[in-house]
Structure 1
């Protein structure tokens, strides 16, 4: 890319449609790609396989960002405040290990920063944060119809009922970080 400030963050906070929609509105974000990672099943997983909960993979997004505009820590704070990091393997009606709250670090520096943010964020939650912190393995890009899902389907019921409230929360809590 040429820009030395370009970094990648990988997070999962329930359905990747929600997480992708949130980060698509944030300044400094160049690209958000929905996908799967964290499992042990062999081969490239499909959405149907992920939904079975048997692959061990989580629905995640990879966020390509310019760290001179938004920091990795700010990305994690946005992530932690736009989903519920205190529910194990669940976000709303979406249940299963594929919907777990997780931060996949790309290097030791990200691991340290993520641990710091998780520790700092605990004070705003009554229940313990259950967000997993793991090294990134292979990232598999989700099928094309999952990419830009909210942008292409914002009138659908799921988008209206589940994603719109998350976007409203983003806009209220992080207005200074929006495009």
Structure 2
């Protein structure tokens, strides 16, 4: 903490600034911390609502999948990042069908669907990039098992 305060003092000497305390929001993301548990949570719910409102789909019927079935998403890759990547390929020359696909994606977000995402250092040192990927896949598998068990507890398959 002493180093952080020293840095703040040096920065305020060079720049006009105010210390507003711990950040509560940044880049449209709500920040919540639990210092005792050592967790930091970011939520983009307010940003999603703003985007939905901007494109006038905030009252649209929610969707349960990120993209329509004609995109033939595999069970291994049905996440929001994949869907955004697919529709982003057509940004240079979008057509009506692409606009409909983006609206579908926005309607999926309208459903308040939970997205699980985490970034942290691995608990072990990998000796190669291949081993690094195996460790990451194993961790992702553990998360999937946990999520499946959790959904089962909620009565979802």
TM-score between both structures, scaled by the size of structure 1: 0.21
Q: Highest Rg: 1 or 2?
A: 2
Return the structure number with greater helix share.
2
Return the structure number with greater strand share.
1
